[in-house]
Amino acid sequence: MQISELQINQVNRQIQALVKAGSFYGKKLEEAGIFRISSPEDFEKLPFSEKNDLREAYPLGLMTAPEEDIVRIHSSSGTTGLPVIIPYTAKDVEDWAVMFARCYEMAGITNMDRIQITPGYGLWTAGIGFQAGAEKLGAMVVPMGPGNTDKQLQMMMDMKSTVICATSSYALLLAEEIEKRGIKDKIHLKKGVIGSERWGEKMRQRIQKELGIELYDIYGLTEVYGPGIGINCPYETGMHYWDDYLYIEIIDPVTLKPVPDGELGEIVITTLVKEGAPLIRYRTHDLSRIIPGTCPCNSPFPRLDIIMGRTDDMMKIKGVNVFPSQIEEILKGFPEVSSEYQIRISHLDGRDTMRLYVETNGSVDFLDLARRITGTVKSRIGFTPLVKVVELGLLPRSEKKSKRVIDERYE
Ligand code: ZN
């Protein structure tokens, strides 16, 4: 998605505000001597911003609008070190609600729905974002917050909630409780809007099956408003995102150059109209790709694929960037192998080698299967792995993707 003329003008206004406020990014721009851009090439010369820059601005160094215009702050959970504090103006709060209401609309949710919100309220952006969007839509909100499953289910029945907003793990827990208590006929849920944590296809199918509802993935991050900047439509062909508020690029996380539409890379977000804390070329470290073409729903909004992992998972083999999710995609095309796999990378005789272990049952020709997988990896990713087929049950079981990759080059 090349940046448009309009978006370039919007970026220029964000640049002006950042320079004027003297924030970290304003200083970066001054150092780079950039005060204005006029083409997509210029845009690509703008420096990136990182979570660390945001942390170092603690507590209020990101504030770009005058104090009297700031109405709220949010904070991302600081698992390591300082949290990030994002100031919002009234317009930012309003814009976020508009985006979130669009998400509900994209999911076919209307002002006749009753939306039960289970993500937490408070410093972080979850609960309140879901709520503001639902109110903007005109739906009835049941603002539960997390936990207290008894009360949660009681309200769900009594209020006849039709939409549940939750993390995938909490949605699954509720689904299992409903099943256990035998109250499914008293539940009126039709749709679930699930927060942006990564979740597997198996979990999705279980929630869908147990609750019998349609599921929608919502994308977002505290640094850029919060959840609600994108969601999938009923065709499930990726998440539409709001390019009148955000410009999204996909870059190669090593060369930092933008990749063509359709190619996997890191999501980099530029806010276009944010006031409290604008961000230019913010590296999310989330992996995805822009889906080329038009969605069958005919929405004019471009699409991001589901989040396929983090850039930290990336491997470089024979000069080619490889992500575990790409290998997973390829293995999905082979129904005869299980969902388990292991990748071992080593450096032998001056060359990188990837050994890929997969499992199958005894009914197929191991050698032939290995040959076919090798060929597919070579044609789709561009290097030749050593594929080893083993008996079902031999590989270690792990929920975490990263555990499946063992890089012996640096051991
Ligand atoms: Zn669509």
Based on the domain organization, do 300 and 321 belong to the same domain?
no
Query: Is residue 7 predicted with pLDDT exceeding 90?
Result: yes
* pLDDT for position 410: 63
Kindly report the backbone phi and psi dihedral angles of residue 292, in degrees, each rounded to the nearest multiple of 5, phi listed first. Answer: -70, 160
| 82 occurs within a structural domain | no
Question: Is the per-residue pLDDT at 256 higher than 60?
Answer: yes
Question: In angstroms, rounded to a whole number, what is the distance separating the alpha carbons of residues 92 and 107?
Answer: 23
| Cα of 239 from ligand 1 centre, angstroms | 8
Residue 399 has pLDDT above 90, yes or no: no
What pTM was computed for the model?
Answer: 0.86
Same domain for 265 and 124: yes
Q: Is the domain of 199 the same as that of 323?
A: no
Which of 227, 255, 272, 262 lies closest to 3, judged by CA? 272
* CA angle at 57 for the pair 56 and 61, rounded to the nearest 5°: 170
pLDDT band at 243 (very low <50, low <70, confident <90, very high): very high
* Tokens coding 268: 């980099």
Confidence category of residue 411, pLDDT binned at 50, 70, 90:
low
Assess whether 284 and 336 both reside in one domain: no
The tens digit of pLDDT for each residue in 299-347 reads 999 999 988 888 888 888 888 888 888 888 899 889 999 878 899 999 8
Question: How many angstroms is it from 286 CA to the middle of ligand 1?
Answer: 21
Residue 94: CATH number of its domain: 3.40.50.12780
Average pLDDT, the chain: 92
Question: Which stretch of 144-153, 328-337, 375-384, 397-406 has the lowest confidence by average pLDDT?
Answer: 397-406
Distance 230 CA to ligand 1 centre (A): 11
Distance 285 CA to ligand 1 centre (A): 25
What is the distance in A from the centroid of ligand 1 to the CA of 221? 21
Let me know if residue 343 belongs to a domain: yes
CA of 108 to the centre of ligand 1 (A): 11
Question: What's the CA-to-centroid distance between 139 and ligand 1, angstroms?
Answer: 22
Tell which of 262, 289, 310 closes a domain. Answer: 310
Number of folded domains that form the chain: 2
Residue 235 maps to a domain: yes
Domain boundary among 285, 310, 335: 310
Angstrom distance (rounded) from CA 118 to CA 134: 13
pLDDT for 396 beyond 60: yes
Predicted pLDDT at 183: 96
CATH number assigned to the domain comprising residue 390: 3.30.300.30
Q: Looking at residue 221, what is its pLDDT?
A: 93
In a domain, 21, yes or no: no
Residue pair 269/248 in contact (Cβ under 8 Å)? The answer is: yes
Tell whether 216 is covered by a domain: yes
Same domain, 231 and 368: no
Going by C-alpha positions, the residue among 248, 250, 252 that lies closest to residue 230 is 248
Q: How far is the CA of 290 from the centre of ligand 1 (A)?
A: 13
Query: If you measure from the C-alpha of residue 294 to the centroid of ligand 1, how many angstroms do you get, rounded to a whole number?
Result: 8
Ligand 1 center to 302 CA (angstroms)? 9
Least confident residue range of 266-275, 347-356, 394-403:
394-403
Task: Looking at the structure, tell me whether residues 158 and 251 fall in a common domain.
Answer: yes
Same-domain pairing of 303 and 326: no
Number of H helices, E strands in the chain: 11, 20
Residue 79 has pLDDT above 70, yes or no: no
List beta partners, residue 73.
Answer: 87
CA of 215 to the centre of ligand 1 (A): 14
Q: How many CA atoms lie within 13 A of 128 on its CB side?
A: 15
Looking at the fold, whether 135 and 282 belong to one and the same domain comes out as yes
Say yes or no: 342 and 218 in one domain.
Answer: no
Where residue 349 falls (left for φ over 0; alpha for ψ -120 to 50; beta otherwise) is: left
pLDDT tens-digit profile of 83-95?
999 999 999 999 9
- Is a pLDDT exceeding 70 seen at residue 18? yes
Tell me, in angstroms, the distance from the centre of ligand 1 to residue 97's CA: 20
How many of the other CB atoms lie within 10 Å of CB of 7? 19
Q: Is residue 63 part of a domain?
A: no
Residues 232, 362 share a domain: no
Identify whether 78 is part of a domain: no
319 and 267 inside one domain: no
Residue 326 CA to ligand 1 centre (angstroms): 23
Q: In what order do the strands lie in the sheet with 246-251?
A: 246-251, 265-271, 282-288
CA of 295 to the centre of ligand 1 (A): 5
Residues 127 and 237 in one domain: yes
CA distance 122 to 239: 26
Distance 143 CA to ligand 1 centre (A): 28
From 310, 334, 359, the end of a domain falls on 310
pLDDT digits 0-9 by tens, 343-357: 999 987 888 889 999
**Structural domain harbouring 255:** 89-310
294 inside domain: yes
Distance 111 CA to ligand 1 centre (A): 21
Give DSSP secondary structure letters for 105-136: HHTT--TT-EEEE-SPPSSSSHHHHHHHHHHH
